[in-house]
Chain A
């Protein structure tokens, strides 16, 4: 994977979020209250199971957020390196066979032959052409079997068995490692430590994390073992591997879910705190602003803003060196626009909370000592509303992922060349009307999107419970 490293804007933001999460973790560890809250999250079994699933998605998403332009083979007569305009990611490089092994059109999961019959011409022994109508053999799906297509079941079974054995062995090793580590750090016998893990009596919900990991191994190992030589989730209308599309969709969903809140967080915090703190005309103005924005029907506002963004992008093609950059900016624009319609909720909550906080004694005391207003906001008020921000961040994630699908359906979502759950669903709309039904694209998109959103919802619940409890404890 020689090539020129490309840093897309959304990549930068994704990595920024990843780093910010790490920093937040370090900071929380030193603040007793926050640390306690996070520990409560760690104890929540559904929460940690969800976090494990999310982590798997995040790994895929991060691998898809390192982009480069591959080096082209040197042309005759020139020595300067030339890079393709196509931008690939680390995930593309890893999943190269998935990306490049395209069939002609639909094929069912694990199929060796296409889904629809085709007419082909066969030259008979006497040299005359004859048209034959049959299911054509796939170019790549199960190609290693050669003419021996009947061996498919046996081959699939063997691969699944082998990969499961391997995966479970790895999982068992991990289980042993955790048990030993726990035994050592808590000074327990191995038997006791394993009992505690089993019964969930640890400070961290190890049992649910390990169980979820086991589940992920059960699902992922066979997928990886098969995806190299088969299309595990079939192929779509133009013969692209559906499994690959699902993997690519993960990053889009993560960007929409995370970056949206991030880009507008400063706005919500700034306006919310200043409105609540200064009151008077500042408050009136800010209230007017968000009531106005809020009262415009969301879809209309988004539609108009997305169209506007597109005009801007279209009139300045020189801004973008590659199609990926264009799609990326469009994605970011969508994030920003979604954020513009959703920051008002957080802003209102923050304003209310600040109104309450500014009446508290320590703020009043600071004011009477003549501490600068901005300093009070930064030192006293902001830390005390952080839990609301954290809750908003996790709560918004799932609704944003769901919103993307709907917007892409209406035609104002991500760039049509970008793979996302929304574009996948949009493309599969007509497939259910086919006879026989083409179900795999929709089913794959549904399953993965459901897993992602469900995990996000469960984690959000755990986080909210943990942080709300802190609020209850302090007041």
Chain B
């Protein structure tokens, strides 16, 4: 098993290199190093010398992928791509273009992001599974039908409306929680209540519907029929057998998302003024801070790969027929 994980992680290397190639190519088509320098140095009274100095200092005066002037390995190593991306693999993201240390920024911003994403995820999972179970229990009744219609209606509403509406009603009209902001420590819950609530509600529609199908599939299986024939009560069947078996596909489907929770949510964080990784990303895009963008892309991709690994592992854990030595 350990060997399997190791091999999977090795397999991640070429993917991460590919990701870096794509980000570098895309970003430098958009932004010449001159643009970046100008953005960072401000627009008032900038001299060409200052721009050249800025580029040289950060190593942006080299060619992007291939250095035709260098010889030997310098052909590929003495380039922006190699010098900037190689060190990311050892976890050194360098400094943002405004001179601040990225790793440090990421560690401080991870907390707020997780503080919103984790409760949203856990609560959301609990609420939607309960609702789906409810619908499955009342399957083929009016409650089920209208429940599904309500789910479809809920998922047809743009996430923007949930946020705008929620802020307007709960914070502005009813004054129940602060409109936006973030506080560390014990005060945090006050700020988290609304974003978490909105996050849970906006996810109800699609997840409930999806879990309900999984439950119904499970209910249609032979062993359920056998159990029913044995005279077990419907609730017992539902909770003891169906829920337990249906949780496997649900959880294996969900583990892939867990690592990505670190990345935070772009919309929620910027609407609620939460200093998390999501708003960091948005700020970096707006400020065209390439160092931050590539770090976030790199981390996002790495987390995605970890998520894939989790999925495979969880499949294997619940299904002993899958073995790792293939």
- A and B in contact, CB less than 8 Å: yes
Contact A304 B27 (CB under 8 A): yes
Q: A454-B153, A457-B152, A461-B152 are in contact. Are A300 and B158 (CB under 8 A)?
A: no
Asked whether any CB of chain B lies closer than 8 Å to the CB of A8, the reply is: no
Asked whether any CB of chain B lies closer than 8 Å to the CB of A197, the reply is: no
* Complex Cα–Cα for A46 and B152 (A): 12
Contact of B164 among A307, A398, A442 (CB under 8 A): A442
CB interface residues, B 139-178, toward A, < 8 Å: 149, 152-153, 155-161, 164, 168, 172
* A29-37, A182-190, A405-413: which lies at the interface: A405-413
Chain A contacts of B158 at CB under 8 A?
A: 402, 405-406, 421, 425, 446, 449, 453
Chain A contacts of B26 at CB under 8 A?
A: 301, 304-305, 308
Asked whether any CB of chain B lies closer than 8 Å to the CB of A224, the reply is: no
Chain B contacts of A410 at CB under 8 A?
A: 266-267, 282
Asked whether any CB of chain B lies closer than 8 Å to the CB of A127, the reply is: no
* Complex Cα–Cα for A194 and B172 (A): 53
Asked whether any CB of chain B lies closer than 8 Å to the CB of A288, the reply is: yes
Contact B263 A454 (CB under 8 A): no
CB proximity of B89 to chain A, nearest CB, Å? 15
* A19-27, A76-84, A289-297: which lies at the interface: A289-297
Chain B contacts of A288 at CB under 8 A?
A: 14-15, 18
* Complex Cα–Cα for A299 and B285 (A): 10
Known: A295-B15, A398-B156. 20 other contacts (CB 8 A): A288-B14, A291-B308, A292-B19, A295-B304, A297-B263, A297-B300, A299-B266, A300-B300, A304-B27, A305-B26, A307-B30, A405-B158, A406-B159, A410-B282, A421-B158, A425-B160, A425-B164, A450-B156, A454-B152, A458-B152
Asked whether any CB of chain A lies closer than 8 Å to the CB of B129, the reply is: no
Chain B contacts of A382 at CB under 8 A?
A: none
Q: A295-B300, A409-B160, A432-B164 are in contact. Are A304 and B23 (CB under 8 A)?
A: yes
Over the window 455-468 of chain A, the binary record of Cβ atoms lying under 8 Å from chain B Cβ atoms (1 yes, 0 no) is 01110010000000
CB proximity of B74 to chain A, nearest CB, Å? 27
Contact of A300 among B30, B160, B285 (CB under 8 A): B285
Contact A296 B160 (CB under 8 A): no
B157, B158, B281, B293 interface centre (most CB from chain A within 10 Å): B158
Contact B281 A457 (CB under 8 A): no
Can you name the residue of chain A whose Cβ is closest to the Cβ of B15? A292
Asked whether any CB of chain A lies closer than 8 Å to the CB of B3, the reply is: no
* Complex Cα–Cα for A297 and B15 (A): 14
Asked whether any CB of chain B lies closer than 8 Å to the CB of A125, the reply is: no
Q: A300-B281, A432-B168 are in contact. Are A457 and B300 (CB under 8 A)?
A: no
Can you report 15 residue pairs joining A to B where beta carbons are below 8 Å apart? A293-B22, A295-B304, A296-B19, A297-B304, A300-B281, A300-B297, A304-B27, A304-B30, A308-B29, A308-B30, A405-B160, A425-B158, A432-B172, A446-B161, A454-B153
CB proximity of B247 to chain A, nearest CB, Å? 23
Over the window 405-444 of chain A, the binary record of Cβ atoms lying under 8 Å from chain B Cβ atoms (1 yes, 0 no) is 1100111100000000100010001001000000000100
Can you name the residue of chain A whose Cβ is closest to the Cβ of B304? A295
Q: Tell me the dominant secondary structure on chain A's binding face.
A: helix
Asked whether any CB of chain B lies closer than 8 Å to the CB of A311, the reply is: yes
Asked whether any CB of chain B lies closer than 8 Å to the CB of A303, the reply is: yes
A295, A405, A412, A456 interface centre (most CB from chain B within 10 Å): A295
B: number of interface residues (CB 8 Å): 39
Q: Which 5 A-B pairs have the closest CB atoms?
A: A297-B300, A292-B18, A295-B301, A453-B156, A454-B156
CB proximity of A219 to chain B, nearest CB, Å? 17
Q: A300-B296, A425-B160, A454-B153 are in contact. Are A294 and B304 (CB under 8 A)?
A: yes
Q: A288-B18, A410-B266 are in contact. Are A296 and B23 (CB under 8 A)?
A: yes
* Complex Cα–Cα for A308 and B26 (A): 7
Can you name the residue of chain B whose Cβ is closest to the Cβ of A46? B149
Contact of A429 among B156, B164, B297, B308 (CB under 8 A): B164
Contact B297 A296 (CB under 8 A): yes
Can you name the residue of chain B whose Cβ is closest to the Cβ of A425? B160
CB interface residues, B 71-96, toward A, < 8 Å: none
CB proximity of A154 to chain B, nearest CB, Å? 34
Over the window 268-308 of chain A, the binary record of Cβ atoms lying under 8 Å from chain B Cβ atoms (1 yes, 0 no) is 00000000000000000000100111111101110111011
CB proximity of A445 to chain B, nearest CB, Å? 9
Contact A295 B305 (CB under 8 A): yes
CB interface residues, B 300-318, toward A, < 8 Å: 300-301, 304-305, 308
Chain A contacts of B14 at CB under 8 A?
A: 288
* Complex Cα–Cα for A443 and B281 (A): 30
Over the window 1-38 of chain B, the binary record of Cβ atoms lying under 8 Å from chain A Cβ atoms (1 yes, 0 no) is 00000000000001100110011001101110000000
Q: A296-B23, A457-B152 are in contact. Are A402 and B159 (CB under 8 A)?
A: yes
CB proximity of A113 to chain B, nearest CB, Å? 26
Contact B155 A457 (CB under 8 A): yes
CB proximity of A330 to chain B, nearest CB, Å? 15
* Complex Cα–Cα for A458 and B19 (A): 37
CB proximity of B291 to chain A, nearest CB, Å? 14
* Complex Cα–Cα for A294 and B19 (A): 9
Contact A297 B160 (CB under 8 A): no
* Complex Cα–Cα for A215 and B172 (A): 35
Chain B contacts of A303 at CB under 8 A?
A: 285
CB proximity of A251 to chain B, nearest CB, Å? 18
